[in-house]
Chain A
Amino acid sequence: MLRTEEMLLNVGPQHPSTHGVFRLVIKIDGEIIKEATPVIGYLHRGTEKLAENLQYTQIIPYTDRLDYLAAMTNNYVLCHAVETMMGVEIPERAEYLRVIAMELGRVASHLVWWGTYLLDIGATSPFLYAFREREMIVNLLTELSGARLTFNYMRVGGVKWDAPEDWIAKVAEFVPYMREQLAGYHELVTGNEIFVNRVKGVGIYSKEEALQYSLSGANLRCTGVKWDLRKNEPYSIYDRFTFDVPTREEGDAFSRYHCRMEEIEESLKIIEQAVEQFPEGPVLAKVPKIIKVPKGEAFVRIESPRGEIGCYIASEGKKEPYRLKFRRPSFYNLQILPKLLEGENMANLITILGAIDIVLGEVDG
């Protein structure tokens, strides 16, 4: 007798489009997804637990490995938390270096997202174009910190060392170049009929749902919520720059795409202004060799490329934190996935997952 049955399909942990070791168990009826269960933890390294036995400076390299596409922001959030608790005054030049590094990181991170997202959708070229530009940023950050991805550049009270000569000039050169390339990206992809058909109206959620699921970053802004910690709770020196917070109303994958692409432009604006205002001076405040954080607790949050990254420190006044916790935006953003996938076409799975923009290092912690 003829009959149909639901099929259980394991997407991942080895799958080209789950961007790492993410696993999704889906129940499909033909090509329609009935139920999706994310399984995470394949990359869990226990960063938070490890941190309890490490001095604060020693924790910084571990933060590099959380969101490895934008390690500078992770460096910053830890240093920022410690500095807040200690009440350290950061030298001007260090602040500028930090902001430039973080914004370069944001551009690089969005470029990787853009390239891989289109690779998921089936276009191979954008990936290579995006990586060409990202490579320039990586080279800039390498000159600055000595590492390509795991920078370990920031320190409590400033940055590890000053930028090399001409570095600022190189950054200034990069900005107009990137703008030019960005126009090319839009020409190649944004108006493409096939691409628009694939992403428009896919994976829609409302403003309320986004807030209920605690989404942040572009995933929140695509629903029309104008919320960016760089504007709403300015940290570092972000209040000195003029930039917009791009938002969209639709809440679909295409609006997330637009938000991210515009964020690149805004980041370039910030870099441009920071380069102009770049001051002279020391890059590291006077802090003790062995950092001891006063007894108490603190939670700071900043805007990473993926959303709000937070760092909570509970200290007993020792060299090591008593408890360290990161609010990892990818992890929170991923929560909405099962809801979005229900009843969707199999081909939309990749479009929806990709649009959330997760980094597995951050999801698994």
Chain B
Amino acid sequence: MIKDLLHSAPSLLNFGIFFGLAVLLLFVVLGFVTYGILSERKIMGFMQMRVGPNQIGGKWGLLQTVADVLKLLIKEDTIPKKADKPLYILAPVIAFAPAFMVLATLPFTDAFQFADIGVGLLYYMAISGISTIGIVTAGWASNNKYSLIGGMRAAAQMISYEIPLVMSLVGIVLITGSLNLNDIVAAQEKVWFIFLQPVAFIVFFIASVAELNRVPFDLPEAESELVAGYHVEYSGFRWAFFMLSEYVYMFAMATLTTVLFLGGWNSIPFLDFIPAAIWFGLKFSAVFYILVWIRVTFPRIRADQLMEFGWKVLLPVALANIFLTALIKELLNLF
């Protein structure tokens, strides 16, 4: 349906349909974020011998996140006197909008995808890079020393980790011969790329945790050093925007990992009577769980060590992986 709409003449009705669909997706994502946060807190509680949220919305705390977001909505919105006001207001938007935009191309099942564009992978990488600007802007505009350091760290970290992230995916693109995410999933019908590209998977996974600014790479907001890093001056819903974008990215990154390495909605042999959506959900949840698990287990890496690791370890490994993949592909073509 969307394909037809994309090729039809622009009209107000078409715009309305697109807008409606976008709002629908927003609610799907916000629904995930709501329960993603809850499940993260519950898993963390389980691992740390606590109960986690258990008050609002029954004994599982099902409405805890809703209550939290509502609280943030009605909180006072403070803007520091000496802040750069326009930039200060703009920064959360710049951080959040791309997080939502990248979802457009992600295929959840063969039937559920917003826009099937040819360069889906490239689009994801390009758009997600914009969020960094939002974070740096926030750090600068707050006119706070901690925010500034946090913002600078974020910029440095994003640059060092975006490159290995992209490089690790070149191997997949080489094998598939396409940047389209649907083609990539189709190419994994027999073997998932995690088995064909294990090195790329490891590099990608580490770099993606760093991209998500999560433990052990949560330097930009390093609570114990920089208090809260780039969002130290933000309150209320502006702050919530940063947090939401972080969790939307987590959603997107878990989806991307599933699509690129775990065969998307493909089933494992002999179990194809289980619907595609459930397969996708299972793999997605596994990735999400591991992300939470990592957060509970590890301490934070130091800024300079992080740079060193990104440039001196991950990047060379990713490059070597590209070289090896290309070589093997050519050799296979020869015989």
Contact = CB atoms under 8 A, between A and B. Distances in A.
B136 to A, nearest CB: 15
B215 to A, nearest CB: 6
Interface stretch (B77-85, B86-94, B218-226, B267-275): B218-226
A122 B302 CA distance: 10
Contacts of B222: 122, 347
A194 B218 CA distance: 13
A347 B302 contact: yes
A350 B222 CA distance: 11
B68 to A, nearest CB: 18
A17 B302 contact: no
Nearest to B48: A128
A230 B219 CA distance: 42
A31 B149 contact: yes
Given A17-B224, A350-B225, A121 B299 contact: yes
A236 to B, nearest CB: 36
The size bracket of the interface on B is: 20 to 34
Contact of B145 (A7, A119, A188): A7
Given A16-B227, A120-B224, A345 B215 contact: no
A129 B225 CA distance: 22
Interface string B251-293: 0000000000000000000000000000000000000000000
A277 interface: no
B224 A125 contact: no
Interface residues of A, number: 30
Contact of A122 (B224, B227, B304): B224
Contacts of A119: 224
A198 B298 CA distance: 12
Given A31-B149, A124-B48, A132-B49, A192 B225 contact: no
B297 interface: yes
B122 interface: no
Identify the interface centre among B47, B149, B299, B301: most chain A CB within 10 Å of its CB. Answer: B299
Nearest to B228: A16
B300 interface: yes
A189 B225 CA distance: 20
B303 interface: yes
A132 B302 CA distance: 28
A350 to B, nearest CB: 5
A118 interface: yes
B218 A122 contact: yes
B303 A125 contact: no
B302 A125 contact: no
B305 interface: yes
Contacts of A348: 302
Contacts of B296: 124-125
B216 interface: yes
B50 interface: yes
B299 A118 contact: yes
Interface in B161-181: none
Contacts of B301: 194, 197-198
A239 to B, nearest CB: 39
Given A122-B222, A124-B296, A197 B302 contact: yes
Contact of A125 (B47, B145, B219, B225): B47
B6 to A, nearest CB: 45
Interface in A190-217: 192, 194-195, 197-198
Contact of A345 (B49, B298, B303): B303
A48 B124 CA distance: 65
Contacts of A54: none
A16 B224 contact: yes
Interface in A113-153: 118-125, 128-129, 132
A9 interface: yes
Contacts of A9: 145-146
Given A128-B50, A349-B225, A350-B224, A123 B297 contact: yes
B145 A192 contact: no
B299 A195 contact: yes
A121 B299 CA distance: 6
A291 interface: no
A15 interface: yes
Contacts of A122: 215-216, 218, 222-224, 298-300
B331 to A, nearest CB: 35
Identify the interface centre among A16, A122, A194: most chain B CB within 10 Å of its CB. Answer: A122
Interface string A332-359: 0000000000000111111000000000
A57 B321 CA distance: 73
16 contacts: A7-B145, A16-B223, A16-B224, A120-B224, A121-B224, A121-B300, A122-B216, A123-B300, A125-B48, A128-B49, A128-B50, A194-B216, A198-B300, A346-B303, A347-B302, A347-B304
Given A128-B49, A198-B301, 16 more contacts: A16-B227, A17-B224, A122-B218, A122-B224, A124-B295, A129-B49, A188-B297, A194-B299, A194-B301, A197-B301, A198-B299, A198-B300, A345-B304, A346-B149, A347-B219, A347-B303
Interface of A: 7, 9, 15-17, 31, 118-125, 128-129, 132, 188-189, 192, 194-195, 197-198, 345-350
6 interchain residue pairs of minimum CB distance: A122-B300, A123-B299, A17-B224, A121-B299, A128-B48, A120-B224
